[in-house]
Structure formats: C-alpha cells, structure tokens
Structure 1
Amino acid sequence: MYTEQIHRIKEKVNQLKSLDQDLEIFGADTHEYILNPTVSIEDVTQFEKENKVTLPKDYLAFITEVGNGGMGPFYGLQTLTEASVNEEELMITGKSTTSLLQKPFPHSSLWNPLAELESLDAKIENASGDDELEEQLYEKRLALISGEEHDYGRLNLCDFGCGITIFLVVAGNQKGFMWTDDRINDGGLYPSIELENINSLTFLDWYELWLDNSISEFI
C-alpha cells in the first residue's frame, strides 16, 4: 500500500544525507542522519498484542522497512518502545508498566484551557505571600492541564525542543495523524503544524514533508 512512498522516502533520506554532510539542518547534530535498524513484523505484532492496539499502517511500514527511530524531524524519532513509555508513571514511580495506548485519544481539534489558566495565574499573583493558597492554586493549575486522558492513545515520537512533544495518535478518531503537545508552554494540544503544513498529516506525509523542506534548503 505504501510501497511507492516508502521508496521515495528512502531516496530522499540518502539525498539529504549527501546534501547536509555538515549537519546544518536543525537537530541533525543530534541524530546525525542515522536511522535505527528496522523492527520485525513479529516484534510489532507482539507489541500490538501486549498493548492492545493496532498501529497505523504507514507508521508500521516505516519502522519495518526504513528504520525504527533515529533520523527524523527536529531532534529525531524515538523508537517504538521509547515512544510508548507512560511518562507520568515513569516520573512518579521510576518505571513505566501501564500502557495508555489502547485508550482513545480524546481530542479532535485544538484543546487549550487558556482562559482558565490565565485566571489562575492572576489568582496566584494576587495570592503572593500566602504560601498555602499559592500552593493550592498551583496544584489546581497543574491538574487542569496534566490529566492522564491527554496521554491516551499516543506514541510520543519526536522532541521538538522547549518541552514540546510531537506525537502520533494510535487510538481514537484522530488515529494516524500527527499532533503536538505544548501544554508545558500553555500552548495546549493541537494537530501538528511545525512543518508549515495547513492540513493534518499522517506519519509518512509528515516525515516526507520534513525531508522535502530540508532538501529545499540546499537546492
């Protein structure tokens, strides 16, 4: 199904490597245009079984035919296993054992409770000096944006920098599309637009657009 696009991507990967030997493209000095070895269909099947999820077909084609992470947009791509880590559980317990992949990602358009955040920020500023109230307000602010449901059904594939994560939705009505998590900067969650695209992008289209944009810097 994706044979032609995978072939184009492989050719463009080699072209970009050849053009940017000095690693001038943003993030290239991190991944150095090195793709990780591919993963086997058997390993993917086992991953899907364990996590009760079916990966988008184009992403599956990429990790089994091109590379399982490494060279990619911005600071590069995580491996399938790295991208599936439950970050909240890892931060709290030091390990990640609970998969959130099978639960549907709850959003279909921009989600950002900015008005509520700004209201809380004003209350925090007014509460200056009242440590107990400030702490309560900070906890309320954190709870507003850090609900577990925002991490449902997503593979955290790419570090954009500044705490921003670009992820692939693998469950829910946005399955197959690339999204951005900029909650840390009060930017909310939204379909990825970092490559100056207007429409939502599937994984392979997103990756190929990055290749095209990068190659155009040299041609």
Structure 2
Amino acid sequence: MVERRDTLQETGDPTWAGVRERVAALAGDPRSAVVFGSSGHRFRLDEPLTAAELADLEVRTGAELPEEYRRFLLNVGAGGAGPAHGVFPVRKAQGRWRWEGDGADLADLSRLAEPFPRQGPDPELVRALLAERPEEEDFEENGKVEEFDDAGEAWDERWEPVMFAPERTAGAVVISHLGCAARQWLIVSGPERGRIWSDNRVDDEDLTPLLDEHGRPVTFARWYLGWLAESERQVAGTPAAAG
C-alpha cells in the first residue's frame, strides 16, 4: 500500500492548509444549502491523490498539471465540492484516468500536452454562419415547416466543426459546469497554463478567460479559494433555522 503523501510538510506550500477542514465545516452546517450548486456536491470532497497516483496520471496523460491544481489534488481532494456544481473529480477506471462530470468528455486527454490556443474560430466566419442559421418562423411563413428540421441539421453540420473543433480545447480539461451546458475549463498547457476559461458556446460565444473584477486572469487557486470564502460569507450571513 502506498502511503499518502503529506505534501504540506514536504512542499512548505500553505495555499491549501485547512481547506479540507473548512469545506467539512460547511458540510456540517445546515445553512450551507443556500450556496449555489451545493445540492449536488453537498460540500463533500474525494480523497486526495497520492504522490504515486498523481505521477501515474501525469505519465498517462503526457502532461504535467498546473502547480496549484497539483497541490489541490494532493492536499485537498481529487474533486468534489467547489465552484458552481463542484470540481470534476479525476479518477482511474479500468487502467485509464479521466475527469468525470457533465461535458468532461469534451476534453481530448490525448492532447493535454499541446498548447491551449488563445484564439478561437474566425469571428467573421462565426458571424456569417449565425446569419445563415435557419429560423423556424421563416419556414412557417412559407408553409414548409416539415423542412425546418432538415435545414437545422444541415446548418449544425457546418457549425459544429467551427465552434467545437477538437483543437480549440487542446491542452485543457473541463473542470466544472454551471448548468445549461455552460462550463469552465482549466488550462493545462501553453501560455494560459493554470488559468480558468469560461465556455459559453451553448450561447454561440467562443471560450473566454475568466477575469476578476480588476480584469486579471483567474488562476485555479484564486478560483477555488474565492468560491470557498464567498460560500463561508454567504452561510455566515444566513440566519439559523428556528428550533
């Protein structure tokens, strides 16, 4: 049996000190139900990875994970409670590692070592395609409602390769979802490594970097710890139920 690594002592990195305990405190507070997404994750965390498990994950994916996220996996948990509907857990099943969650399969784990591209599809091409999207009302006016589905399918066949091309999200993993097909990605490789990007392609928008109120990119640690602090504030400000 591999002993679980005590990374806090080994690395001297205090970033994640006490985080598991803070999350556990929220799990034990009935007022925590007010926090968005908590009905799903219930402030529960998977066990942290061992150093051996993390090494195996990185070897098998061919990519070294961003340092803040690596520390999280070793000190806090492999996934669970977190922003929105939680941090997608990374688990090994049938000899293969994978992230699990709504839309996690959008990430191509064979391309994690490739640099994540800052630029997406040509905006002019996107605008042109959107302008050509079939509208059901047009078919109703012309008495051809039965042709709308076929036209929509034909348009989707042109749209999907542009907005959901595999190379658009190379070097990244889906880390969380906000519901209604809106997601967040953790960038693993390239200039944006360690940062969180928002994915609102469901609303016909390209991926964009998640920025704070000062316009600064949000890293994994700031993303997670900011959520934790806000959850604690929200719970502390909620009156306890009357006995």
With normalisation by structure 1, the TM-score equals 0.81
Deviation string for 1:6-53 (max 9, x for gaps)?
115345324433555451100001000000011111111111111110
2:69 & 2:53 partners in 1: Cα distance?
A: 14
1:80 corresponding residue in structure 2: 90
Alignment of 1:131-210 (within 5 A): 135-193=153-211, 198-210=215-227
After alignment, is 69-78 or 118-127 more displaced?
Answer: 118-127
Which sections of structure 1, spanning at least 5 residues, go unmatched?
A: 90-95
1:214 & 1:156 partners in 2: Cα distance?
A: 22
Q: 1:180 to 1:27 in 2, by over 3 A?
A: same
**Is this contact kept in 2: 1:112–1:187, CA < 8 A?**
no
Bigger Cα Rg: 2
**Is this contact kept in 2: 1:112–1:186, CA < 8 A?**
no
Per-residue deviation at 1:202? 1.4
Q: Report the residue type matching 1:200 in the other structure.
A: P
Q: 1:119 to 1:48 in 2, by over 3 A?
A: same
Deviation string for 1:185-207 (max 9, x for gaps)?
212101124x7673211111110
Which sections of structure 2, spanning at least 5 residues, go unmatched?
A: 1-10, 92-97, 238-243
**Is this contact kept in 1: 2:121–2:162, CA < 8 A?**
no
Matched, 1:214 2:231: yes
**Is this contact kept in 1: 2:16–2:76, CA < 8 A?**
yes
2:12 & 2:180 partners in 1: Cα distance?
A: 33
Q: Report the residue type matching 1:34 in the other structure.
A: R
Secondary structure in 2 matching 1:205: helix
1:11 & 1:187 partners in 2: Cα distance?
A: 38
**Is this contact kept in 2: 1:112–1:189, CA < 8 A?**
no
Per-residue deviation at 1:100? 1.9
Deviation string for 1:126-180 (max 9, x for gaps)?
8855677654433212221011111211121111111011111011111111111
With normalisation by structure 2, the TM-score equals 0.74
2:83 & 2:124 partners in 1: Cα distance?
A: 32
2:205 & 2:168 partners in 1: Cα distance?
A: 14
Matched, 1:28 2:28: no
Matched, 1:100 2:111: yes
Give the fraction of aligned pairs with identical amino acids, expressed as a percent. Answer: 24
**Is this contact kept in 2: 1:105–1:174, CA < 8 A?**
yes
Per-residue deviation at 1:75? 0.6
**Is this contact kept in 2: 1:19–1:215, CA < 8 A?**
no
2:12 & 2:232 partners in 1: Cα distance?
A: 22
